[in-house]
Amino acid sequence: MSGAAPDPFAKIRAATDAHRAQHHCNAYPYDNGPLLAALAAGAAARRILELGTALGYTALSFASGAPDATVDTIERDPEHVRLAREHIATAAMDHRITVHEGDFAAILPTLDPGYDVAFFDGGTPAPGLHKTLRGLLRTGGTLITANLNHGGAAESVRKALFDGKSWRSALIDEDGETAISVKL
């Protein structure tokens, strides 16, 4: 679902697909960078947190949508980190995007709370990580959760996002893959 919106980072998205074919990894690029850019712009985000950098496609999309924002993005695969940093430097966004190399569980406790937007795109969502993400997001902040249709642990996360008490949530696609949630 790339829609009609022009995608300034379409080449990085394509490079991610090409990399995955060679590297046999799970670097599946998100299908709609312009949507993420628009969400960051609508939130007038100053601080954005991303779990799952891959080659930098979505971090760049967020940064382009919110020109006053810094982006902290986390990735454990060293080759993905290297390529993401290269793409980010080429786009002259390295002063605003920090790629943290390591596991989510190790990096998240080192970050300061108060993020305006957080994006989970790091495989199957899990309840423990989501609780940590909620703690890092400001009240009124926006959480975007991908891969909610993976079943298993993702189903518990989906239920929590739609409990009607802690989040105002909506699914944004017909297959229930992504939710946008505002922290209440």
Ligand X SMILES: C[S@@+](CC[C@H](N)C(=O)[O-])C[C@H]1O[C@@H](n2cnc3c(N)ncnc32)[C@H](O)[C@@H]1O
- List the 97-101 sheet strands across, edge first: 97-101, 70-75, 47-51, 115-120, 137-145, 179-183, 167-171
Name the site residues for ligand X (rule: CB under 6 A). Answer: 16, 26-30, 52, 54-55, 57-58, 74-77, 80, 103-104, 121-123
Cα 4 to Cα 10: distance, rounded to the nearest angstrom: 13
Residue tagged 């790091």 (tokens): 122
Nearer to ligand X, 2 or 26 (CB): 26
Q: Least separation, in Å, of the C-beta of 139 and ligand X?
A: 25
Query: At closest approach, how far in Å is the CB of 85 from ligand X?
Result: 13
In whole angstroms, give the CA distance from residue 64 to residue 18.
23
Q: Pick the closer one to ligand X by CB: 34 or 122.
A: 122
Alpha-carbon distance of 20 to 8, in angstroms, equals 21
Q: Which is nearer to ligand X, 122 or 141 (CB)?
A: 122
Q: Report the C-alpha dihedral over residues 131, 133, 135, 137, rounded to 10 degrees.
A: -140
Q: Which residue, 72 or 121, is less far from ligand X as judged by CB?
A: 121
Minimum CB separation of residue 144 from ligand X in Å reads: 10
The distance of closest approach from Cβ of residue 119 to ligand X in the complex, given in angstroms and rounded to an integer, is 7
